[in-house]
Amino acid sequence: MEFTKTTEQDSNYNNLEKMSITDLLKNINIEDNTVPKAVQKAIPQIEALVQKIVIKMEQGGRLFYMGAGTSGRLGVVDASECPPTFGVSYNRVIGLIAGGDKAIREAVEFAEDSTTQGWTDLTQHNITEKDVVIGIAASGTTPYVIAALKKCNSEGILTGCITSNSNSPISQVAQFPVEVIVGPEFVTGSSRMKAGTAQKLVLNMISTTTMIKLGKVKGNKMVDMQLSNDKLVDRGIKMLMSELSITYIEAERLLKKHKGVRKAINHYNYGN
């Protein structure tokens, strides 16, 4: 199968080393401004995927992200932020990266080329047909991810992908592909830039929309967030003040008693 790998095409700019710092920053920003428009075009694809994710997670399923390099790291970041933000357990949204945890901080040579390790990593989490697996690959050609998605398909597991190339191998494998075509990178081939930004935006949309539909947000507030530091405790107190029209002192007392914003709200009308 042939396809145009736009993520590898020459940059729209040349002689970067001769540009001033101001010009470099301005031109990078010009390119970055094209990313949200590319994401907007992909909203129908994102919607189709999220609809399936919500159904699966309502039934007790989990969401897995898989990727290598920058793509894998972004998946790990999004997954790791769901528990503190939405109060879900750490095994509801799981990020897997080729090369394991070591690869989060440094490159692991040839890890992304394995056609067996991806599925092995998934089986270590006892994956089943209740779950959803999203492969993240800017190029759309990462063997670690593609082989795992193929195996998921054969096992009846729902699959999606996020990529920045149209009609790539990963799009052909994923049941619900999301293609955000951002074009050539400012530094040729450096897909941590526009493609990475696009991936982060899409991941934000997927996890946030899913959690909202699962009831993890009230109004526009993170009422299930973990109270893991003083800043978040203060935020929780202010949420209670706004929601219940009470004083700071009363809200603080409620939060300390119930150990969570949602619990404090739910119990407020039952004797505090």
Helix axes 261-268, 248-258, angle to 10 degrees: 110
Could you give the C-alpha distances from 54 to 50, 83, 135, 136, 257, in angstroms and in order?
6, 17, 17, 19, 32
Q: Any catalytic annotation for residue 81?
A: yes
- Helix axes of 230-244 and 248-258: crossing angle, nearest 10 degrees: 110
**Amino acid making up residue 204:** N
Q: CA 123, CA 267: separation in Å to the nearest integer?
A: 41
Residue pair 222/86 in contact by the 8 Å Cβ criterion: yes
Token readout for 49 is 């995927």
- Asked if 111 contacts 120 with a C-beta cutoff of 8 angstroms, the reply is no
Q: What is the three-class DSSP state of 91?
A: coil
Q: Helix, strand or coil for residue 67?
A: strand
Long-range contacts of range 237-240, CB-CB < 8 Å, 24 or more positions apart? 240/264, 240/265
Active-site position among 8, 47, 58, 81: 81
The partner residues of 65 in beta bridges, in order of sequence, read 95, 134
Can you state the angle between helices 69-86 and 194-213, rounded to 10 degrees?
Answer: 30
Evaluated on CA atoms 140, 81, 235, 87, the torsion sign reads positive
Catalytic residues: 81, 112
